Every structure is written in structure tokens, then in C-alpha cells.
Structure 1
């Protein structure tokens, strides 16, 4: 799978990935065939095969592209603010904003598709680790209550996994983006002295 992530893309391929992300976010992807996708993007199947050798690999590559861009935007948002509580809130709320365009069908397709679910799970683990680092920095700076950062991050990771697996949506009716905003509020209010 690293082969897809490591492949250099041309400007046209990057544009196609952006179009694929927009299409998948809006309508999901499980129901599309490669012929459907090519027709929607007004390109040939051979153009799609230049992106990935089959639909599963294309879904994987598009999911990687989506999360890579989302991560860059989240980190840019965090870089704009100061203070531990504000950085944690900015991080989690920004994650939520990145998921706002995602339709329920897209999120359901991700949960039901192993190659896409793997990417989401990996990004969820990385996000939970990033929150752990932000908490540790805040505790070390005396800006946050002296909590066990690894435990707090584990709690966050558990909720993030439940969001990713669609359990929060099923139990609460909250969309993933809303759930991340609620998690940000709960976490930052609980950490402030």
C-alpha cells in the first residue's frame, strides 16, 4: 500500500484526486463502478488506471489523498493559535470541520470498505497521538491540570475510534464532525485548571 502513497502525482492527477474526493464525500463510493467514476469525471478508464490498478486501490488512494489534505489543514489551524487548551480545541474542532463535507453514505462506505477503513483507522491513531502530545505539552507548561496525558489521549482515542466506526452516530445521532466538536468541548473543559 505504500506504493500508492509514495507515487508522485502530476498536476492533472492531483486535480482528479480532488474531484474524486469531492465526488466520494458527496455520494459515497461503494455503489460506483470504474465506468461510473470515469463517466462522472469525464475521463477514460485508462486515466483512472494511471491513478490505481483497480477500484479498491483507487478508493485507498483517494482516501489517503483526503486524509493527507485534511491533516495539512488541521495542522495549519493549530499553528495559528497559542495556548494548550486553545490548541487542543483547535485541533479537534478542525478535525470535525474536515469531516463536515462527508455525507453519511461516504462515512458508511468507509466503515464497510477494508482498504478505506484502514486509512481512517491509521489517521485516527495518529490524531489520538497528536492529542496526547498537545496534552503533554500543556501539562508540562502548567497550562493544563496535571493529568496523565497517555490516559487522557487513550480516552480520546477510544472516542475517536467509536466515531470512526460510526458507533457515536448510531447511538447519539451526531454526525462525525459534530461529535469531534463535542469531544473538543468535553476534553478542554475537563483539562483546564
Structure 2
């Protein structure tokens, strides 16, 4: 999980070295954090992830319930690492053209252009593609070390549940962006 966490949580890279801000600035959409842009389904999805990854892990340390709750959170991580990498790979095909369409000046500033597309490219690279495999290997190792059964059917159901929830958030986001 270290390989996933150090990249996805930006460990050693405050604010992803500014990658996300570079991208939002290039799209002239740096006001994305304002309350008027909140989408309820996206917030519900975020709440779901928080409960699974943080709030749902209050069992006594070293208990079987605790080990299962951590394994469940790891399965959610596997689900999203395998899914999100594909999303970013898809977007990466179009990001250069879209950035130049919105901000043509980027064609004359190689550094700004590289910075603007850096967030997408960093998430569509081989490192991102391997996150799902790193998370899967970590969950297997965790289950062996803590004598907890790794249930492949549970992983399948977790993946379907996560994709369903993410799909609801994306549908609501699409609706908000196209109305």
C-alpha cells in the first residue's frame, strides 16, 4: 500500500507539487472549491470513502473485526486504483488538445503546458497503472500476515458497489456540468 499511498496522498509532494492547481488554472476553473459547485452525489460518494477508509475503523486494535475493516478498506482501494487508472488513460488522449483549445497561449510556454497536463499524465502513467496491482498484493500480504481470509467474492462485490457509487457521482457531475 506504500506505493499507492506515497503517490496518491502526495507523500513528500505537498499538493501534488501543485499539479492539480496548474491544471485548474490552465482551464480557468480555479473556483471549483466554492460551495455553489458542490454536487450532492459527489459529496455522498466522498462520505462513503471516508466511512470505509477512516471512520469505519474504530474496532479495538489487534481484533479480528479491526483486521477485517482494514482489509475492506484495502479492497475499496483496489477497486478504485483499477478503475481510476483507466479513466485517466482515457482523458489523457484528449487533454493536450482541450488545454490548447481553452488556453492557446500554452502553445508558446512549454513549461506551463507541461505543468497544466501534469496532473492527468501523472495519473495515467505506468506508476498509476500499477497501483491496482500494488494494492492487490498488499491486501493479500495483509490477509496472510493477520490470518484474515481474503475473499475474492467479497472483492468482486466491493468493486461492483464502488463502481455503482462512483457511477452515480459521475452521472450527477455530468448533469451539473451540462445543465
Q: TM-score, normalised by structure 2?
A: 0.32
TM-score normalised to the size of structure 1?
0.30
Larger RCO (CA within 8 A; separation ≥ 6): 2
